[in-house]
Amino acid sequence: MAKDKDYKDTELQDPKITSPRTAEEPGPKPEKGEDSCCTPQQKGADKDEEERSSFIPTIVSLILLLFGIGLDFFDVEWFKGYLRLIVFGVAYVLVGGKVVQHAVTNIGKGNIFNEFFLMTIATVGAFYIGEYAEGVAVMLFYVIGEHFQEAAVARSRRSIKALIDNRPEEVSVLNNGQVSIVNPKKVNIGQIIQIKPGEKVALDGEMLSESSSFNTAALTGESKPDTKKKGETVLAGMINLDRLVELKVTSGYEDSALSKILKLVEEASGRKAKTQKFITRFAKIYTPIVVFLAIGLALLPYFFVDTYVFDEWLYRALVFLVISCPCALVISIPLGYFGGIGAASRNGLLFKGSNFLDLITKVDTVVMDKTGTLTEGVFKVQEVKVRSLEKDRFLALTAALENKSTHPIASAVVEHSGKAYKQLKVQDVEEIAGHGLKGTVDGQELLIGNAKLLQKFNISYAPEIEEIVETIVVVAVDGKYEGYITIADKIKEDAALAIKQLRDYGIDNIVMLSGDKDSIVQKVAEQLKIDKAYGGLLPQDKVDKVEELKKQGKKVAFVGDGINDAPVITLADVGMAIGALGSDAAIETADVVIQTDQPAKIATAIKIGKKTRQIVWQNTGLAFGVKALVLTFGAFGVASLWEAVFADVGVAFLAILNAVRLQRIKF
């Protein structure tokens, strides 16, 4: 077979996601001009080496800081003057260089009062009055916070790439009886392609073979296979389950169903909900007030104090600035969120950024996929109803014939029946496309399939069969209707608890979206007491439903597990993926991953988010309260640098202890 080697997909290679703390707008596509001081800005292909190297200056700075503090503590004679300044100065530049650079750059843009500017003047002030370690520590803590946040979202860089890797890179094209392997992009509409059993369909096409079953999970998220017959449409992303089939291509590569899903993900990424860092918003008010108060404290006493000495009042102003330095905020806010992220991880939840801990507390609408999220995603026998035979005999006969089929529904029947069927002799097996199986088992003629199979052989059956919404296997023995087996996707044990807990947390708008048929979806919704449910949806339909909710002003969390859910997960204010059984694409695209496959963890995530926000606000109140008190003392010359250090480092330490408390709370 000829093979076209030039088929590597280079589009959308290496997507980037920046840290929510360092980006003005969190999400996969940073806006032009966004301000980030400490996250490495990657160009072209991201390199793991570049990420690791970004930690080196921080580590060196930390070593120099501890070295300098140790020498100061033991009052080493030779560690004085310029040598001391050089050691702390190098430590400062390593971590504070970019902060100072951003402060200067922002001044040039007219954006003066921000956390970069305040940290710069406060730390430079600390150096001016000889408190070198304090100046270095402020910058060091800030950058460490950046690194922690960067690590929390590192897995998200490949969110779109994970989807791209799911597109087939080659396709078998049939031309004049010869098969060649080529790039799907080079296949024209009207050409004939072959799909082997177990192979993913690369292009949309019309079925030329008689029939075959396809796994449609990549498009609908549903585990139930779909049998396609001659003349019907087969979409890219489906997986052929039965036999070698031939398709006539009806759409180009870029117009295929799977490519459209990728486009949806990209568009949804651009519409990601925007959040702004609290400290940045606060700094716009806090920074100018502190700066002007410090200037006033240094200069205004000249007009009112007879014994005014500039150096004395400048010293007070610098103490004032050191006290006002946002070290406690810089530490307590991210550490509070990191504590929440740590607590979440121990409860089977992965938050990919601290902003999502905050966003999840604002959610008022939870939208969930059905299969794999609220249900097991695996076919199980639900009910067996028999007319005259013994139940065990009925199951053994049915399983003996179903064992000759590779269909997942047949496998569910065989698994449920036990081992008795293995003793039975099966002959004359015939598959009737779109209907079921015919064969002889232990001398008895069996028909196993859907109601259409019995109609085909003019066998009457119970009317109740037509009213059953689950997947049903109807059985006839020796020309007479004998009973049926219902098969359905089992609801997860904690699904009902998940809905109840969400309502306990004030989430009154709960919606279920599914690609499964609407009758089944409505039955599951009724059992779980879900407010609204929609079935028979494709990925675009799910996107439309979520967009409709967002236009109504709702804060939406979406929970799903399949590739088809990735566009909606990305679009939602908080996208959540069921982890252990979920697709890689859904997990990489999600903001929150439920690693235990328990929908009840949705409510746990909300609880952790609310507790984290409470801790953060406690730390913020503590920092402001103590600082306001010591600032007042400093302005009147009562507070010395010892009080200034306590107001900054001491409060930061208390804030750390409060944040660590999150780790011990049981959720």
Q: How far is CA 400 from CA 142, 397, 416, in A?
A: 68, 5, 12
What is the sign of the dihedral through the CA atoms of 208, 211, 216 and 222?
positive
Q: Which residue has the tokens 């490495």?
A: 40
Tell me how far apart the alpha carbons of residues 289 and 113 are, in angstroms, rounded to a whole number: 9
Tell me how far apart the alpha carbons of residues 104 and 122 are, in angstroms, rounded to a whole number: 14
Burial class (CB in 10 A: 0-12, 13-18, 19+), 642: exposed
* Phi–psi pair at 197, nearest 5 degrees: -60, 135
**From the candidates 204, 358, 369, 648, which is the catalytic residue?**
369
Question: Which amino acid is it at 314?
Answer: L
| Residue 369 among the catalytic residues | yes
As given in the structure block, the two tokens for residue 601 are 């963890």
CA Rg, the chain, in Å?
Answer: 33
What pairs with residue 386 in β-bridges?
Answer: 483
**What is the end-to-end Cα distance of the chain in Å, rounded?**
59
Strands 532-534 and 509-513: parallel
As given in the structure block, the two tokens for residue 544 are 């439309």
Tell me how far apart the alpha carbons of residues 228 and 234 are, in angstroms, rounded to a whole number: 7
Tell me how far apart the alpha carbons of residues 491 and 495 are, in angstroms, rounded to a whole number: 7
Question: 377's torsion region: left (phi>0), alpha (psi -120 to 50) or beta?
Answer: left
Tell me how far apart the alpha carbons of residues 232 and 255 are, in angstroms, rounded to a whole number: 18
* Phi–psi pair at 424, nearest 5 degrees: -95, 145
For residue 42, how many other CB atoms are within 10 A of its CB? 14
What pairs with residue 217 in β-bridges?
Answer: none
DSSP string of 491-534? EPTTHHHHHHHHHHTT--EEEEE-SS-HHHHHHHHHHHT-SEEE
Close Cβ partners of 204 (under 8 Å, ≥ 6 residues apart):
233, 234, 235, 236, 249, 250, 251, 255, 256, 257
Close Cβ partners of 386 (under 8 Å, ≥ 6 residues apart):
394, 482, 483
**Residues belonging to the active site:** 369
